[in-house]
Structure 1
Amino acid sequence: MAKEQTDRTTLDLFAHERRPGRPKTNPLSRDEQLRINKRNQLKRDKVRGLKRVELKLNAQAV
């Protein structure tokens, strides 16, 4: 059956067309997900006794 824009009966057949890309499984935005995941990672590291260290190297050393 062809999709016709003016036909009221076929519009609802195509109302839930799948969009390309990854399906959205989490209601939170990507930024919120990253913030929560980072917080959880820091908590896990703290329980394991790990500390974060920042290290700066000269570009020639890398």
Structure 2
Amino acid sequence: MKNLVRRRDDRMVAGVCSGVADYLGLDPTLVRLLTVVLAIFSVGTAALAYVAAWILMPEV
């Protein structure tokens, strides 16, 4: 069973994108790029979701 967790070993800022990529089986760089694009086009809503995930996701 997979768990959605922030990763310490492959992090740029907080490890959220790396953890999501690991959970979904995607490349972390792709998830990071999608996060930046969403943050720009969602007028900051994605950035707020990132901060919420940073606070709520456990770190491994």
TM-score clears 0.5: no
TM-score computed with the length of structure 1 as normaliser: 0.33
Larger relative contact order (Cα-Cα within 8 Å, sequence gap ≥ 6): 2
Bigger CA radius of gyration: 1
